[in-house]
Structure formats: structure tokens, C-alpha cells
Amino acid sequence: MSQPPASNSPVLVTGASGYIATWIVKYLLEAGHTVHATVRDPSKARSVAHLLKAVEGTPGTLKLFKADLLDEGSFDEAMQGCELVMHTASPFVLDGFKDAHEALVRPAVEGTRNVLNAVNRTPSVRRVVLTSSVASILGDNRDMERVPAGIFTESDWNTTSSVHHNPYQFSKVAAEREAWKLCEAQSRWDLVTINPSMVMGPALTSSSQSASIGTLIQMGDGTLRTGVPRLVMGVVDVREVARAHLLAGFTPEATGRHILSTCELSMLEIGRILREHYGKAYPFPRMEAPKALVWLFGPLLGPVTRKFISRNIGYPLRFDHSRSIALGVQYRPIEQTLVEHFQQLIDDGLLKRKKKRA
Ligand code: NAP
């Protein structure tokens, strides 16, 4: 893309009611853009109320459109006149489904193909920003053993996930590969991907099913009181991820993939940061459970497999986020992200304080 998109051309955001997308929409509206926001059901007040609120007091304009990833052609109307398409919609669920292909892989891959085929039919589009994930960089923490410098960069790809092992990760890498394939088959539009690690920070919506929110609830509801697995993950603020989408969309020279990750933290470190702020008011984890115990009991307690435990628990993890800094992303301290998110869960009544013993 040689010029930034014209400021008066609308920007399409798919999956606009999601946790990350709502922040993207808010920033676009604040910058005065017209946003074409696709949701699965615009008549469902719960999915759109926060979008209608986000437009209040901004110079931007919001237009809602109905579109489903599995409904070929359903993005065409919303895309008319757009130079920039931000494709965020994809199921982000880690449990509660029977058929991983139908729940995750098909909507992610077929959905990406449907959105990009619509891009191919829409002559105004010049850039697509895709919300991918570090799940498309690696499958298991153990994969870092084969990375020469011992740190994941944008040149790494997840080659270890499948529909049977880490299906969410598989859905993301398969969708991103499909997007690059379709991009390379033409020359009118270019593709920039944002690859966030675990996204946290306050939500503008209470209706999202994003797995991000569930992870933090478990930190404070006592589920992990007796010990957390020694699991390290990258963590990043939702506002940085949203800003990165705008930088990727409006910086003509932006190209390729961008890891978005503030830092790496173990689950115990997340508990420690929250305890430093909230003291004993919540049953934050205080110790790590031995791997053998997690291997034995983990699969009985939640949707985690022994293969996942073997390949992730106890392994270090590191990301190189220098491409995101070069793009212009400024990372806030992760303590702020975690505390503001946790506080929101408290304010929304999703977490109760520990009862004092009589
Ligand atoms: P989210 O709140 O659950 O958002 C997912 C969005 O995808 C929702 O708006 C949902 O629409 C939409 N969607 C799902 N299936 C659809 C379908 N069949 N047709 C149309 N739309 C569909 O989760 P999120 O965390 O914001 O995730 C947004 C994107 O970021 C996803 O691509 C996810 O893989 C990626 N990501 C997330 C994280 C993270 O930690 N949160 C990290 C890396 C990457 P409805 O509102 O209609 O359900």
C-alpha cells in the first residue's frame, strides 16, 4: 500500500462485538472514521449495545451489518467502498465443544476464505489486517527447543498443532496460512497480521465469550487456590492490541506479521501481581503444583490433555516483540493491565471477596 487509506473511506471490522474488536471500533470512531461493523445478529441488544455506546461523543459513524463466517457472500455488502478491512472474527473458545473441527477450524479457515474472497470481489480494498495469534507462531511451549535463538519471532510457524491436539491453535495457524495464500495469489491488496499472546485488560463488552476473561476469573475464584501449573504465557493489554490494528491499517509501509506481547509471565507471577494489589481479599494461587500431580489430575479437573501438560508445563517461553515496537506500539506496565481487568471483574460482580472467618 503506497498511500494510507483515505480518511473518508469506511473501515470494515468483522466480529465487531468481540472483546478485542470493540476496542478497535472505539479507536476508529474516536479518530473520526466511518466503521462498517459486522456482527452475527445486529438485532441482539446484548451484542451491539456496547458498540452503540462506543460511538457516543465521537466524531465517527457506526454502521452495523449482519454477517456470518460460514455464510459465503455475507460480508460483501458491508465491504462496499472500504479500502481497509480488519478481520478479527474467529471463535476463541478452549472448551465446551464436541467437534473441534466444526466449532473452531471450519469457521476460522472457511471464514477467512469467505472474507478474503469478498475482498477479491471488492475493488476498493487495498489492505487487510488479520487478527491472528501467537498460536500461529507456536503450538506448545516445548517448541521453543527447536528455535535457534531460544526466542520466538515472526519467522516461526506453529507446526505441532492439529485438530486433535491444541485445536484452537490449529485453527489460528490454518487460518493465517490460508490468508497468506490468498494474498499471494493477487497484487491489489496487501496483508498485515497482528499476532497477540494472551490478551487481558478491561473489556467494553460483558457479552464476550473470549477465553481471556475466563482465565482471569479462575485466578480469583479459588479454582487455582491449591496450586497453579508451572505454565508460562505471553500477556498483552487489549488496548495495545487494538492500537496495533490501527497502526497496521494506516501505516503504508507496514508489512508482514507482528507479535504483540508485553512480557512473559507464569501463572504464579500473575497471582503474585494481583496479591500485591488486593492482599488476601481473594484466594490467589500461592504455589505451583508439581508437574506429576498436574499430569495425573489436570485432565480430570478441566479441558486439558496429558499431551498438553507434557509439552507445556515447566517449559520457558520468550517472544521477540521488536517488530511491534517498530510499528509504533507502546506497551503499558503489565501490572496495570492485570489490575484494571481484575477490578472490572469485581465491579461486574463476577468475583466475590473471600468470606472472613468468624
Ligand atoms: P471474542 O470476544 O470471543 O470475539 C470473537 C468474535 O468472533 C466475536 O465477535 C464473534 O461474534 C465472532 N465470531 C465467532 N464465530 C463467528 C461466526 N461463525 N461468524 C461471525 N462471527 C463469528 O474473542 P476475542 O478475544 O476478542 O478474539 C478476537 C480475535 O482475536 C480472534 O480472532 C482470536 O483468535 C484473536 N486472539 C485473541 C486472543 C485473546 O487472548 N483474547 C489472543 C490472540 C488472538 P459473536 O459476537 O457473534 O459471537
| DSSP string across 113-144 | HHHHHHHHH-TT--EEEEE--GGGT-SSGGGG
Residue 277 in any domain: the answer is: no
Q: Mind listing the pLDDT tens digit for each residue in 197-256?
A: 999 999 998 755 566 677 788 889 988 888 899 999 999 999 999 999 999 999 999 999
Residue 282 in any domain: the answer is: no
Arithmetic mean of pLDDT, 176-193: 98
Give the span between the Cα atoms of 268 and 111, in whole angstroms: 36
Residue 307 in any domain: the answer is: no
Beta pairing, strands 61-66 & 11-14: unpaired
Share of the chain above pLDDT 90, in %: 77
Residue 295 in any domain: the answer is: no
Q: Where are the alpha helices (DSSP H) in 251-319?
A: 267-278, 291-301, 306-312
Instruction: Find how far residue 115's CA is from the centre of its chain.
Output: 18
Cα 51 to middle of ligand 1, angstroms: 15
- Whether 98 is a known active-site residue: answer no
Which element (helix H / strand E) includes 290? none
CA dihedral (192, 254, 201, 266) positive or negative? positive
Q: Mind listing the pLDDT tens digit for each residue in 344-358?
A: 989 888 887 765 544
pLDDT band at 117 (very low <50, low <70, confident <90, very high): very high
Residue 343 in any domain: the answer is: no
CATH code for position 175: 3.40.50.720
Is the Cβ–Cβ distance between 28 and 59 less than 8 Å?
A: no
Looking at the structure of the chain, the number of domains it has is 1
Atom of ligand 1 nearest to the CA of 21: 26
Residue 50 in any domain: the answer is: yes
Cα 16 to middle of ligand 1, angstroms: 9
Residue 267 in any domain: the answer is: no
Evaluate: CB of 40 within 6 angstroms of ligand 1: yes
Evaluate: CB of 195 within 6 angstroms of ligand 1: no
Give the span between the Cα atoms of 351 and 358, in whole angstroms: 21
Evaluate: CB of 199 within 6 angstroms of ligand 1: yes
Cα 81 to middle of ligand 1, angstroms: 24
Q: Per mean pLDDT, which range of 41-45, 80-84, 182-186, 301-305 is the poorest?
A: 301-305
Owner of C-alpha cell 488486593: 278
Owner of C-alpha cell 491489489: 188
Longest dimension (CA), the chain: 70
Domain range for 194 is 11-199+237-261+318-331
Residue 354 in any domain: the answer is: no
Give the span between the Cα atoms of 169 and 120, in whole angstroms: 27
